Every structure is written in C-alpha cells, then in structure tokens.
Amino acid sequence: MTKNAFTLAEVLITLGIIGVVSAMTLPALVNRTQGKELEAKLQKTYSVLQQAKQRMDLDYGMTVTPQTHNTTTKFLPEFAKYFSKYVNCGENNCDVFERDSEGKLTSKHYKAYNMKTIANADWFDNGLYMMTDGMFLMSNDAYGTNGIVLTVDINGINKKPDAWGHDVFSFNIRNDGKVLPMGADGTMYPLSEYPDYCSPTSTNTYNGISCAYKALTDKDYFKNLPK
C-alpha cells in the first residue's frame, strides 16, 4: 500500500513562497489599516470640534467669533469646557516646542507633510490641551482677519507618525464663527492659493497646515501619504 506525502524540500519551498508573498502584501495591508484608522479619527475630530463650537454658541446665545473672543486666553479655556476631561498644558508644559539657533520656535515632535522638514510651530503655540481620548489640541491667537487656528494631533502626542497632514490637522474658526478644515476656500491658507502647504515635495515648514480639507474630501488621500 503506497502512501503519498510531501517531501521536506517541498514543504520548505512552500513555506518560502508563503513568506515572500506575506512580506510583499503585509506592509500594504498595514498601511491601509492605519490609513483607515487615521481617516476615521480625523472625521471624528472634525465632528467633535464642530459640536463643541455649536454648544458654545448656544450657551453664549450668539455666534462666538474671533472678534468676540479675540485671543486664545479668552477663547480656548471656554472652548475646552465642552470636552469631557482635559489637562491644560498652558503654552508649553507638555514639552512640545523649542527654539532653534536663530531663536525661531520649532516643534520637538512634529514634522511637515513631507516627513522630512520640521514643522513650524508658530500656529499652535498659544495654548495646549491634552484630552482624555488621546486627542491633543493646540491653538494660536486670533490675528486680524486670520481667525482662530486649532491644530489637533488626532491620535495623541506620543503616537507616530506625528506629522502635519498625517495625524496632525489644522482647522480655522473664521470671523463668521464657522469651523472649517484648513485648505478649504475661505480659510487662511486655501489650497487653491497655497498648493505647497500640502505637497509631498515641498520643504516649506508650513507644509501640511492646509491638508485637512484635502484629507476630508479626497477618498484616496490616506492611501498616498508621503513616507
């Protein structure tokens, strides 16, 4: 009676093929999963910001604008009350910033969209809040017609990739009180005028500040992030 079986060489060859296929496909699957996770967190973050602003408007009985709360010392402490729990880091108690050799403010954690340039910290250095759900909220004072800038690390300060346009996104509270993703028409840096502010090749230190709008409107955005 003959019994058929695989030889050791055949088993090893099969395992080798499985290993090669896994090595080729696993990174793509991991990147796709991470992209979906970041996409969902961004959508949730935008919704949370809009809801907090709406509740603030209702409690004040008016539309809160950069004119009614013209600095983050007026706006941000009130806005933060609409989140369940948070830690107020002041302006740098969470150890986020440092100054370079020329005295310019730079980020210790965050890179620009191209994943190479260090992000310019000028637009999120006037108030830092650590939320219990991991979200890290940064803000900038309202200057003239620019409105209020809110920048959010959607998965927390200690979780990578820590880059603008990847897991860090900026939003603009305009002078009419609306909360819009930066990069949209009507925001401070619309992509139609500032294409280098969400470009995989730009070395501008603001590169990434205008990616929020594209990330929320382009269904393939998170599939094509710079490495």
Greater confidence, 60 or 12?
Answer: 60
Task: Report pLDDT for 24.
Answer: 60
Least confidently predicted of 17-31, 42-56, 131-145, 213-227: 17-31
- Decide if pLDDT at 185 tops 80: yes
What is the pLDDT, as a whole number, of residue 81?
A: 85
Mean pLDDT of the chain: 83
Of 52-61, 151-160, 169-178, where does mean pLDDT reach its minimum?
151-160
pLDDT given at position 26: 46
Whether the predicted pLDDT of 182 surpasses 90: yes
Q: Give pLDDT tens digits for 63-72.
A: 988 888 876 6
Model pLDDT for residues 134-145, shown as the tens digit of each residue: 788 888 876 666
Query: Hey, how many other C-beta atoms are within 10 angstroms of the C-beta on 131?
Result: 19
Length of the chain: 227
Task: Provide the β-strand partners of residue 136.
Answer: 130, 153
The pLDDT confidence band at residue 1, using thresholds 50, 70 and 90, is: low
